[in-house]
Structure 1
């Protein structure tokens, strides 16, 4: 590592995570010494072979001792996918389609639960396509879902025209966000700079490990603003979501072009009036590792997940701009109850009900997670939004 703070091209760390830090440092240098946070987050999560979702560590699981970092709803209880199958079957029927597309399928648990339940009901789709950017996760999905090989396929991108039902469970929160910081009344975009650790090994060679203190925040004045004015003059940090909104707009355009289809996105988040509330002055950015949370995405890059809550108003507007109707918007707990989870739980032994309760409880996933449904045409009165619909709050 050179004394001038630049990363030497001779650095070739042996550990993958160290290679990622060096890769990002070079990216910062190439960008003139400052990198917008969305580009940093993109590299930290998805850099080929190096990012958090691109290497082979286990991500999904119920407990830290199993080597996982966080649990998702289908990993928590199979009743999640079995109940969501009700909404999928209803959407397939109303749209007259026979394909399901799942983005970011993770371990493959949700796909397996859906396919098993739809087959049990005699409503199996003709094709189930998984779109996942992680080659490591794709290999795990293929192994886990081998029994469904006749209907499964994987894709790297969407077709120009799309017909079917699209699913995304905890996909939008993992899309890179831009950070905005109001400091002393002036809005800045928050980016990342490189602070090289110049300590040398005894033989005079640069250390292979780039320490967690290698990156630091740096703000630049910007014309960017949150979609709504944030009342007050106090310092305030928040996120905007151009990538997630562009993704939803693309999905909506392809569905509209295909003429028939629907989409359901499940994630943690708020409508914009809550998202940009004056009291939410520290933003929503968070990291997950070994079932613990922290708020420092610049440390231990590549070893933990980085997420931000979803602005569901922006998602709804992006879909509507591309021609889709909003079927409904509600909490995950209410959506699952409307779709029959309570009846399913009543048929289960007590040991199976306890984890399923976390899907519903307000202090667990039930309230923090939301579900938004979208459809071509005028849509229909979807069962999942029959009670407790909050579309008016978007």
Structure 2
């Protein structure tokens, strides 16, 4: 696995209530593994620890979003980092709504609701209010947090927000997903002694969980047929992920999009970088109390598990579903093109208490050493002539040719 930024033994110990919830989830996992013959594919394990109703990381009430580990949170996202992120993204969304002639917005991975509140307020202030804002969210706890945030920061617009349990068959408008693709379950594969294995999960004698590899039958295994695994050069030991769930999600969203634009923001690489020979430990990583480590079996249901996104596959999935690739670039270039420095300039630099924290946050969003280069933005269009109305956010620095 990835080199550990923090050894699990150095991480804070959860309280008794959280530990009891984690053990309840672990018990269901042990039973599922036993009924499956003692081995569970890693993507199923990841799905359960993140999304099991009432017990998973995103459905069990954990704090998740915040600034510091001592507030019970595990990581901070761009909308939490600065309201200028939403204000800048609103410019792109407004352009996309105008170009497609639509008035509806849909968000996945809405977190605390800060991005939704910021987009609603900024679009309304710009004279381009949306008729509806749909949030696809299965967690009741997160829905309530989102509702409270929107009512606090955009009370006059809260009535336009609705929550969905499932995707509609057809949607016209703009779809936004910030850090949603990386939270999709991934399959794990390991090459050992020049033989590829699928990496799954088994129960240890002590009742914990451990990796267990099964050799692939490359002549018959569906995971191998047409897979990128066959194209990874060399015979040295190698661990990597495939993103079946994220690809299926992208196809579904782009097929649903009858007219409009879909924008996804996440950390990752194009295929030739993702499956580079030197990336031999994969990208799977866990986040707990603002510390990164490589043990996905620590505190099931209480920590986040993610993988970097392989954006070439995402681009292919969207096009296969009938959408047109609008652009692919770094978050830094996307935000700069969209005018984040102009948004910052609207603050008075003579007010250091407001201006300096905002300037520092913008630096984190666009710096190559922070989020600016690792995070990428990819966008699709469907149902209108996107060529004659390109998004300015991809006008300079578009990297679609690298996919």
TM-score, scaled to structure 1: 0.90
Whether 2:86 is the aligned partner of 1:77: answer no
CA distance in 1, matches of 2:23, 2:357: 42
**What does residue 57 of structure 2 align with?**
52
Q: Equivalent residue of 2:283, what SS?
A: coil
CA distance in 2, matches of 1:322, 1:371: 19
Structure 1 residues 242-261: aligned runs within 5 Å: 242-255=244-257, 258=258, 260-261=259-260
Gap regions ≥5 residues in structure 1: 1-12, 198-209
Q: Equivalent residue of 2:170, what SS?
A: coil
Moved more, 145-154 or 245-254: 145-154
CA distance in 1, matches of 2:129, 2:51: 32
- Residues 286, 296 of structure 2: 8 Å contact kept: yes
Residues 14 and 361 of structure 1: CA distance in aligned 2, closer, same or farther (over 3 Å): closer
TM-fit CA distance, 1:16: 1.3
- Residues 19, 299 of structure 2: 8 Å contact kept: no
Q: Equivalent residue of 1:265, what SS?
A: strand
CA distance in 2, matches of 1:93, 1:121: 12
CA distance in 1, matches of 2:297, 2:61: 21
CA distance in 1, matches of 2:71, 2:106: 29
Q: Equivalent residue of 1:388, what SS?
A: coil
TM-fit CA distance, 1:355: 1.4
**What does residue 243 of structure 2 align with?**
241
TM-fit CA distance, 1:188: 0.5
**What does residue 173 of structure 2 align with?**
164
- Residues 325, 378 of structure 1: 8 Å contact kept: no
CA distance in 2, matches of 1:273, 1:30: 38
Summarize deviations over 1:143-171 as a string: whole Å, max 9, x none.
11122322100001111111110000000
- Residues 104, 133 of structure 1: 8 Å contact kept: no
TM-fit CA distance, 1:34: 0.1
CA distance in 2, matches of 1:149, 1:350: 30
- Residues 365, 372 of structure 2: 8 Å contact kept: yes
Whether 2:191 is the aligned partner of 1:182: answer yes
**What does residue 216 of structure 1 align with?**
210
CA distance in 2, matches of 1:195, 1:143: 43
**What does residue 100 of structure 2 align with?**
95
Whether 2:228 is the aligned partner of 1:227: answer yes
**What does residue 305 of structure 1 align with?**
304
Match among 346, 356, 359 for residue 362 of structure 2: 356
CA distance in 1, matches of 2:246, 2:59: 19
Structure 1 residues 329-368: aligned runs within 5 Å: 329-348=328-347, 349-368=355-374
CA distance in 2, matches of 1:357, 1:156: 36
TM-fit CA distance, 1:230: 1.1
Moved more, 371-380 or 235-244: 371-380
TM-fit CA distance, 1:14: 8.7
TM-fit CA distance, 1:347: 3.1
CA distance in 2, matches of 1:161, 1:351: 41
Moved more, 215-224 or 105-114: 215-224
Structure 1 residues 1-394: aligned runs within 5 Å: 15-146=20-151, 147=155, 148-197=157-206, 214-222=208-216, 223=218, 224-225=223-224, 226-227=227-228, 229-255=231-257, 258=258, 260-348=259-347, 349-376=355-382, 377-379=384-386, 380-394=389-403
CA distance in 2, matches of 1:253, 1:381: 21
Summarize deviations over 1:63-110 as a string: whole Å, max 9, x none.
222221000000001000000001100010011111000011001010
CA distance in 1, matches of 2:358, 2:340: 12
Q: Equivalent residue of 2:198, what SS?
A: strand
TM-fit CA distance, 1:196: 4.5
TM-score, scaled to structure 2: 0.88
Moved more, 70-79 or 148-157: 148-157
